[in-house]
Amino acid sequence: MSVENLEFKTEVNQLLNLVIHSLYSHKEIFLRELISNASDAIDKARYEALTNSDIAEKTGEFRIKIIPNKNDATLTISDNGIGMTKDEAIMELGTIAHSGTMEFLKLLKSREVKDNPELIGQFGVGFYSSFMVSDKVIVITRKAGVAGKSAIRWESEAKGTFTVDEVEKETPGTDVILHLKSDDKKYLEEWEIRQLIRKYSDYIDHPIVMDVEHEKESTVDKGKKYKEVTEETLNSRKAIWLKDKSDITSGEYNEFYKHLSHDFKDPARIVHYKAEGTNEFSALLYIPSISPFDIFYQDFKTGPSLYVRRVQIMDHCEELLPRYLRFIKGVIDSSDLPLNVSREILQNNRQVEVINKSITKKILDTLADMKTSDFDAYVSFYKELGKVLKEGVHFDFARRETILDLLLFESTTTEPDKYTSLNDYVGRMKENQEDIYYIAGASRDEVKMSPYLETFRDKGYEVLFMLDEIDDLIFAQVTYKGKPMKSVIRGDVSLDDTNKEEKAKKGEEYKQLFDLVRDRLKDDVKEVRFSGRLTDSPCCLVADDNALDPHMERMLKSMGKDMPSAKRILEVNPTHPLIESMYALYNENATSKKLNDYIDLLYGQALLLEGGKPKDPAAFSRTVTGLMLEGAKR
Ligand code: ADP
């Protein structure tokens, strides 16, 4: 095969550019990333070897070897792991498979990344970080379990292209050969390599070895010194999750988290325990302090890594945790599952179920503890990930109350940027109050002025603000401590209405006007009636009990969902002078242009008040202008 010249995909070029020019002060992480890849490759080979004896025999002891060569200024990271085929090498080292990463890259500017390296760290700079310290990178890789010595030589200077060529390699696995930049020769020094491995890769399960020169004294010829080269293991190799808590420093815990998550920030909480008994396992789990950028993407990988007796079975085992806890990173190491456990077995496995139950409870308990013992830290966690946790209210019926207790809300009584819990809300409920009231909207500013809150405010009822898109979907059917949650926008919310009878009588009197209004607005409004919820505003629109919240409807439409608008109820304020004036106009002349204009404006206002806009803003504005001119003439 002759050398093939290929181009990196655009997004790889972009990533390379960001990595090389923005992560400059963090460049020593390249070694961690490459050792991490080597270790993953060995995990895969070890797993394959369970069923393919060929791999086990050919490979010998799994290890990662670091080979500094001062003569030609190269640093080689060599592993005897799974290796890559030609197609895999082209695919894995020339594209970015993860769709979320590509979208995110489009949004990133290198200047932002320079100031916030965690932005790019989040999706793992991985292999490409080698170009921070190298002018040229060569990868020689041979797939394990494939007959023959045929291997692939991949080479690039990160200038938009790479080459692949067919070569021979004696053993399966991968050598990554870095031609170090002249400023980065320090990474050839023994002490530097030792220190980096201790700092970043000590917990790696496989031996990381290097040939080290020792000065020895001859036993025959006393006093004469000579040099001997021995292979030394540089990492302690103890799987951190199996160590005793008291033997782990917070630095070690945090480094391991960063290895797992690619996060640059320390985690918010660490959960580390051993379950004993019939189902033994060790869990080391992390609650992050910031949200991964791609947490809402479809292909976001969920679940901790699963190990069986220190052998990695899979990177992300989604059966181990519910999806609303997908931000949790970590490792579960089971003593009881079979080593050759498959996806299908995992799906219906009792032991997996038990582990899932145990760690879900531990995580929710830890969050609850954080909420009581360190509220500020909990608030900053919640601002990042509360939205994800909240999904549990909908999906995890059995733990609904526990999750509801973890939620935070702003409300008509909280200061901006301060929060209340449902439990505290219930504690403040008025004596005769049966429901938990909420209003959904895009922002605090939008909802706090809403006409729907007028009587609630006047009568001293607290209303929660639901400011996340999914809130109305989640809370419409929820009951907390026996109290149903109700949107104040829905039709059936009525506070103790003292003027009920009087209103009904007046409604009868105004019936013909209301019929006329409904006729004129028949495309959008199904009923017109007096309202008990307004004090200052003349009118508002309310949804039918079983209809979608208008905020939700607007959101779905903005996402391109084609859906018919639900007709709503126009509620008018019986004590507002405008309604009385309209009634007078009606009695004068039920078909006048002026009355029709008033009806249109009334509806336009109702839309404005709930954060929408009039159906025809130009016509709305023209009518307002006409009325203003008329008023000015008087
Ligand atoms: P990540 O490790 O986050 O997937 P990388 O850019 O570091 O991203 O690596 C991309 C892919 O290249 C890996 O997922 C793996 O498939 C492959 N790869 C990298 N290094 C090795 C290696 N030493 N042995 C085998 N495959 C490797």
| pLDDT tens digits, 576-598 | 899 889 999 999 998 999 999 99
The CA 41 to ligand 1 mean position distance, Å, reads 8
Q: Residue 359 has what pLDDT?
A: 97
The CA 16 to ligand 1 mean position distance, Å, reads 15
Residues with CB under 6 A from ligand 1: 33, 37-38, 41, 79, 81-84, 92-93, 124, 126-128, 174
Q: Is 121 in contact with 263 (CB distance < 8 Å)?
A: yes
The CA 75 to ligand 1 mean position distance, Å, reads 18
pTM, two decimals, is 0.72
Please tell me the number of Cα atoms within 13 Å of 32 on its side-chain side. Answer: 23
The CA 593 to ligand 1 mean position distance, Å, reads 72
Q: Is 354 in contact with 340 (CB distance < 8 Å)?
A: no
Which ligand 1 atom is at minimum distance from the Cα of 262? 3
Least confident piece of the model among 254-258, 312-316, 379-383: 312-316
Residue of minimum CA distance from atom 17 in ligand 1: 92
The DSSP secondary structure of 465-500, one letter per residue, reads EE-STTHHHHHTT-EETTEEEEETTBTT-----TTH
The CA 92 to ligand 1 mean position distance, Å, reads 6
Q: How far is CA 80 from the centre of its chain?
A: 34
Query: Per mean pLDDT, which of 23-32, 33-42, 222-231 is the most reliable?
Result: 33-42
What residues form DSSP beta bridges with 307? Answer: 312, 333
Which ligand 1 atom is at minimum distance from the Cα of 88? 16
The CA 179 to ligand 1 mean position distance, Å, reads 19
Q: Residue 298 has what pLDDT?
A: 82
Q: In which band, very low, low, confident or very high, does the pLDDT at 111 lie, cut at 50, 70 and 90?
A: low
The CA 64 to ligand 1 mean position distance, Å, reads 15
The DSSP secondary structure of 180-227, one letter per residue, reads E-GGGGGGGSHHHHHHHHHHHSTT-SS-EEEEEEEEEE-SSSTT-EEE
Q: Which long-range contacts (CB under 8 A, 24 or more apart) does 254-258 make?
A: 255/199, 255/200, 255/202, 255/203, 256/203, 256/284, 257/286, 257/329, 258/121
Least confident piece of the model among 94-98, 99-103, 260-264: 99-103
Which ligand 1 atom is at minimum distance from the Cα of 37? 20
The three-class DSSP label of residue 366 is helix
Q: Residue 361 has what pLDDT?
A: 97
Q: Residue 496 has what pLDDT?
A: 59
Higher pLDDT, 359 or 476: 359
Which ligand 1 atom is at minimum distance from the Cα of 77? 23
**Nearest CA to 15 among 133, 123, 136, 115?**
123
pLDDT digits 0-9 by tens, 539-562 = 888 877 666 666 666 666 666 666
Which ligand 1 atom is at minimum distance from the Cα of 124? 3
pLDDT digits 0-9 by tens, 606-633 = 888 877 889 899 999 999 999 899 888 7
What is the number of other CB atoms lying within 10 angstroms of the CB of residue 268?
A: 20
Residue of minimum CA distance from atom 21 in ligand 1: 37
The three-class DSSP label of residue 433 is coil
The CA 412 to ligand 1 mean position distance, Å, reads 51
In this structure, is the dihedral angle defined by the CA atoms of residues 580, 581, 587 and 593, taken in order, positive or negative? Answer: negative
The structural domains of the chain, with segments of one domain joined by +, span 4-233, 240-375, 500-546+560-633
- The mean pLDDT of 567-571, rounded to a whole number, is 87
Q: Residue 518 has what pLDDT?
A: 93
User: And the tokens for 475?
Assistant: 């809370």
The CA 157 to ligand 1 mean position distance, Å, reads 18
Q: Residue 575 has what pLDDT?
A: 80
User: And the tokens for 362?
Assistant: 């531990």
- The mean pLDDT of 244-260, rounded to a whole number, is 91
The CA 79 to ligand 1 mean position distance, Å, reads 12
Residue of minimum CA distance from atom 4 in ligand 1: 126
Residues 6 or more apart whose Cβ sits within 8 Å of residue 97: 91
The CA 343 to ligand 1 mean position distance, Å, reads 22
Which ligand 1 atom is at minimum distance from the Cα of 79? 23
Q: Residue 1 has what pLDDT?
A: 63
| Cα–Cα distance measured from residue 45 to residue 83, given in angstroms and rounded to the nearest whole number | 8
Q: Is the pLDDT of residue 120 over 80?
A: no
Residue of minimum CA distance from atom 14 in ligand 1: 92
| Cα–Cα distance measured from residue 128 to residue 137, given in angstroms and rounded to the nearest whole number | 10
Q: Residue 215 has what pLDDT?
A: 85
344-59-63 Cα angle (round to 5):
90
Query: Which residue is listed with tokens 């949650």?
Result: 485
Residue of minimum CA distance from atom 23 in ligand 1: 38
Higher pLDDT, 335 or 65: 65
Angstrom distances, CA of residue 609 to CA of 65, 376, 401, 526, 564: 68, 34, 34, 19, 21
- The mean pLDDT of 243-258, rounded to a whole number, is 92
Residue of minimum CA distance from atom 10 in ligand 1: 92
Q: Is 346 in contact with 332 (CB distance < 8 Å)?
A: no
| Cα–Cα distance measured from residue 141 to residue 44, given in angstroms and rounded to the nearest whole number | 15
| Cα–Cα distance measured from residue 457 to residue 474, given in angstroms and rounded to the nearest whole number | 25
* CATH superfamily of the 4-233 domain: Histidine kinase-like ATPase, C-terminal domain (3.30.565.10)
Residue of 55, 86, 92, 178 to mutate, ligand 1, most atoms within 8 A of C-beta: 92
500-546+560-633 classified as CATH 1.20.120.790: yes
pLDDT digits 0-9 by tens, 452-478 = 888 888 888 999 999 988 887 788 789
Q: Residue 102 has what pLDDT?
A: 67
Which ligand 1 atom is at minimum distance from the Cα of 38? 23
| Cα–Cα distance measured from residue 132 to residue 50, given in angstroms and rounded to the nearest whole number | 37
DSSP class of residue 329? E
Q: In which order are the strands placed within the sheet that holds 64-69? A: 4-7, 161-168, 150-156, 134-142, 173-180, 74-79, 64-69, 208-217, 225-233
The CA 39 to ligand 1 mean position distance, Å, reads 10
Supply the mean pLDDT for the chain. Answer: 87
Q: Is the pLDDT of residue 451 over 90?
A: no
The three-class DSSP label of residue 152 is strand
Top-level CATH class of 240-375? alpha beta
Q: Which amino acid is at 71?
A: N
Residue of 9, 36, 37, 79 to mutate, ligand 1, most atoms within 8 A of C-beta: 37
Q: Is the pLDDT of residue 86 over 90?
A: yes
The CA 325 to ligand 1 mean position distance, Å, reads 26
Q: Residue 290 has what pLDDT?
A: 93
- The mean pLDDT of 61-89, rounded to a whole number, is 96
- The mean pLDDT of 133-137, rounded to a whole number, is 96
Residues 6 or more apart whose Cβ sits within 8 Å of residue 456: 412, 437, 462, 463, 488, 495, 533
Q: Is the pLDDT of residue 343 over 80?
A: no
Which ligand 1 atom is at minimum distance from the Cα of 126? 7
Residue of minimum CA distance from atom 1 in ligand 1: 126
The DSSP secondary structure of 45-103, one letter per residue, reads HHHHHTT-HHHHHHH-S--EEEEEETTTTEEEEEE-S----HHHHHHHHH----HHHHH
Query: Per mean pLDDT, which of 103-117, 230-244, 401-415 is the most reliable?
Result: 401-415
Higher pLDDT, 324 or 590: 324
Please tell me the number of Cα atoms within 13 Å of 337 on its side-chain side. Answer: 31
Q: Is 406 in contact with 368 (CB distance < 8 Å)?
A: yes
Q: Which amino acid is at 271?
A: V
Q: In which band, very low, low, confident or very high, does the pLDDT at 117 lie, cut at 50, 70 and 90?
A: low
Residue of minimum CA distance from atom 11 in ligand 1: 92
| Cα–Cα distance measured from residue 609 to residue 531, given in angstroms and rounded to the nearest whole number | 15
Q: Residue 498 has what pLDDT?
A: 61
The CA 127 to ligand 1 mean position distance, Å, reads 6
Query: With left for phi above 0 and alpha for psi between -120 and 50, is residue 405 left, alpha or beta?
Result: alpha
Q: Is the pLDDT of residue 507 over 80?
A: no
Query: Per mean pLDDT, which of 217-226, 238-247, 553-562 is the most reliable?
Result: 238-247
Q: Residue 499 has what pLDDT?
A: 65
Residue of minimum CA distance from atom 8 in ligand 1: 126
Residue of 87, 127, 129, 177 to mutate, ligand 1, most atoms within 8 A of C-beta: 127
- The mean pLDDT of 39-47, rounded to a whole number, is 91
Q: Residue 563 has what pLDDT?
A: 65
| Cα–Cα distance measured from residue 135 to residue 110, given in angstroms and rounded to the nearest whole number | 20
The CA 181 to ligand 1 mean position distance, Å, reads 22
The CA 32 to ligand 1 mean position distance, Å, reads 13
Q: Which amino acid is at 428?
A: R
DSSP 3-state helix, strand, coil percentages of the chain (rounded to 5)? 45, 20, 35
Query: Per mean pLDDT, which of 57-66, 165-174, 600-609 is the most reliable?
Result: 165-174
